[in-house]
């Protein structure tokens, strides 16, 4: 275990070296730490990585090209990269009970693209090549390749709709996944906001997707992955789970049995930050039959892996295997539920009426606001959130009708259920005191709002006072 003095020395020394070259960068880094220390961070997808994880990214691995996989590189001199990549994969397998782990993806979307193409290669490309010609691939005609490309681009994906809590990378048009696949969405029950598994099964039978995707970025409940796998099997689909948001709850054994995706899915993707509390990056876990295709992520989808980030992944995954991480994961959910209950007691409307995980969605139309108005008003008061769609959102994906709040970051700082009730009061105060604004022509605006500066200042000071008892990176002193 490092000493506080060692961590302070490490970061102060790093800033001193940077400042000698470009002082504005050093100043911005120091300012970011100061801003994060003062922010009541409720963005569900953000967290605080440990000093060890952060320091693991600033080293000589950044200078190394390492295309390929462990023991099979296209560049010489990768023996040390092999060590850290193998360590990260080992920790991932042990942590999640996975048969195979691929730790090279640079982000969540990269992990999803690796998964999509691994499935396409396994389910479509290889059989199509065999049908096209029994001879060597190099002998295929342009007509053969044209037919193959058409078949690869004509596959179907079924995933959760955006307004129900799904993610852009699950087949939606603005994202490359929506250009790769013919996509259809399943939503949630209009009355409860919960997944209706019978409706998902009905959609799967009708649409017959190649890939059934589960996972979310804004669904505040557990998903029964056993039932979803049964649905996938019933139509011959590959079952993929994107657990980027709740990977820490899986790692910490909050989600087990039917709610742990790893035993049920053919392939699982995740980010390594968010609730997992590691560096920004991605990862793919899969069953043995997909391992060979997944390991072709570079060069199939990825450029050169980032060895310095893989080193940080190895550190963070090692941290997540410690017993205290399971306690942390439990506290994330306890805090989210306390925050949700505090809001409900004060009259707020929550999608699904509460939460089972790390996040909750406030329907701010009950306050007469759009999500954009609420997001900015809360920011004025020192509370950092993000606007989010609600099911069947009348305001669309830009203005939205909801605010997404999450507890991983504040739980890392040590805040507990009592503090969550205080935060619920602060949020309610801001939202109840905010009024929608009007455009210059007098028509209602979905963006403009009015919040008394005195209210914003008072809430901001209360938020700062609350955080003084829970210092961020207390072992790091830059002065």
280 catalytic, yes or no?
A: yes
What is the number of residues in the chain? 479
274 catalytic, yes or no?
A: yes
Over range 426-442, report the average pLDDT: 94
Calculate what percentage of the chain has a pLDDT beyond 90: 82
Q: How confident is the model at residue 2 (pLDDT cuts 50, 70, 90)?
A: low
Res 211: pLDDT: 94
448 catalytic, yes or no?
A: no
24 catalytic, yes or no?
A: no
- Asked if pLDDT for residue 474 goes beyond 90, the answer is yes
Looking at the chain, which residues constitute the CATH 3.40.640.10 domain(s)?
A: 62-320
pTM: 0.92
Q: Of residues 133 and 373, which shows the higher confidence score?
A: 373
Residues 281-340: tens digit of each pLDDT: 999 999 999 999 999 999 888 888 999 999 999 999 999 999 999 999 999 999 999 999
Give me the architecture of the 62-320 domain, per CATH.
Answer: 3-Layer(aba) Sandwich (3.40)
Rounded Cα gap, residues 282 and 123, in angstroms? 23
From 19, 46, 64, 67, active-site residue: 67
From 93, 222, 280, 435, active-site residue: 280
242 catalytic, yes or no?
A: yes
Spatial contact of 211 and 184, defined as CB atoms under 8 Å apart: no
From 37, 221, 274, 413, active-site residue: 274
Res 1: pLDDT: 55
Give me the architecture of the 324-468 domain, per CATH.
Answer: Alpha-Beta Complex (3.90)
Residues 17-57: tens digit of each pLDDT: 999 999 999 999 999 999 999 989 999 999 999 999 999 99
Q: How confident is the model at residue 131 (pLDDT cuts 50, 70, 90)?
A: low
CA 52 to chain CA centroid, nearest Å? 21
Q: How confident is the model at residue 132 (pLDDT cuts 50, 70, 90)?
A: low
From 12, 46, 64, 65, active-site residue: 65
Looking at the chain, which residues constitute the CATH 3.90.1150.10 domain(s)?
A: 324-468
144 catalytic, yes or no?
A: no
Residues 136-151: tens digit of each pLDDT: 555 667 777 677 777 7
Over range 143-166, report the average pLDDT: 81
From 169, 238, 270, 271, active-site residue: 271
Q: Hey, what are 397's tokens?
A: 């994906």
Rounded Cα gap, residues 12 and 24, in angstroms? 15
Rg of the Cα atoms in the chain: 24
C-alpha closest to that of 83 among 100, 106, 59, 66 = 66
DSSP state of 294: H
Q: How confident is the model at residue 6 (pLDDT cuts 50, 70, 90)?
A: very high
Spatial contact of 271 and 282, defined as CB atoms under 8 Å apart: yes
- Asked if pLDDT for residue 372 goes beyond 70, the answer is yes
Over range 213-223, report the average pLDDT: 95
Over range 345-370, report the average pLDDT: 97
Rounded Cα gap, residues 157 and 170, in angstroms? 8
Q: How many CA atoms lie within 13 A of 102 on its CB side?
A: 33
From 85, 110, 242, 356, active-site residue: 242
């Amino acid at each position: 275990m490092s000493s506080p003095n060692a961590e302070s020395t490490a970061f102060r020394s790093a800033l001193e070296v940077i400042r000698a070259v470009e002082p504005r960068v050093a100043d911005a880094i120091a300012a970011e730490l100061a801003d994060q220390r003062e922010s009541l961070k409720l963005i569900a997808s953000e967290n605080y990585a440990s000093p060890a994880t952060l320091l693991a990214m600033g080293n000589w691995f950044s200078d190394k090209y390492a295309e390929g996989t462990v023991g099979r590189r296209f560049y010489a001199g990768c023996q040390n990269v092999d060590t850290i990549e193998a360590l990260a994969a080992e920790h991932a397998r042990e942590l999640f009970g996975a048969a195979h782990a691929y730790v090279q993806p640079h982000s969540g979307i990269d992990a999803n693209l690796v998964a999509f193409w691994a499935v396409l290669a396994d389910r479509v490309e290889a059989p199509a090549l065999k049908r096209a010609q029994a001879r060597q691939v190099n002998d295929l005609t342009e007509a053969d390749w044209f037919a193959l490309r058409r078949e690869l681009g004509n596959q179907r994906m079924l995933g959760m709709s955006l307004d129900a809590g799904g993610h852009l990378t699950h087949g939606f048009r603005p994202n490359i996944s929506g250009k790769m696949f013919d996509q259809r969405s399943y939503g949630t029950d209009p009355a409860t906001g919960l997944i209706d598994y019978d409706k998902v099964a009905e959609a799967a039978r009708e649409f017959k997707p190649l890939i059934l995707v589960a996972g979310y970025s804004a669904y505040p409940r557990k998903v029964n992955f056993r039932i979803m796998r049964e649905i996938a099997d019933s139509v011959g689909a590959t079952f993929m789970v994107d657990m980027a948001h709740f990977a820490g709850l899986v790692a910490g054994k909050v989600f087990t049995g039917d709610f742990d995706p790893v035993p049920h899915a053919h392939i699982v993707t995740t980010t390594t930050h968010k609730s997992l509390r590691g560096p920004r990056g991605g990862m793919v876990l899969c069953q043995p039959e997909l391992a060979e295709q997944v390991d072709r992520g570079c060069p199939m989808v990825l450029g050169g892996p980032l060895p310095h980030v893989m080193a940080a992944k190895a550190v963070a995954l090692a941290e997540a295997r410690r017993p205290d991480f399971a306690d942390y994961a439990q506290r994330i959910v306890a805090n989210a539920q306390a925050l949700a209950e505090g809001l409900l007691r004060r009259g707020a409307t929550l999608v699904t009426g509460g939460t089972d995980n790390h996040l909750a969605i406030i329907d701010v139309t009950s306050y007469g606001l759009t999500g954009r108005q609420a997001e900015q008003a809360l920011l004025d008061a020192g509370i950092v959130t993000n606007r989010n769609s609600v099911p069947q959102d009348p305001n669309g994906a830009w203005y939205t009708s909801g605010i997404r709040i999450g507890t991983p970051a504040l739980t890392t700082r040590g805040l507990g259920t009592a503090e969550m009730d205080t935060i619920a009061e602060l949020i309610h105060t801001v939202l109840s005191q905010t009024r929608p604004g009007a455009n210059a022509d007098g028509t209602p605006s979905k963006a403009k709002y009015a919040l008394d500066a005195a209210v914003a200042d008072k809430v901001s000071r209360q938020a700062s006072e609350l955080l003084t008892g829970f210092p961020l990176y207390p072992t790091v002193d830059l002065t």
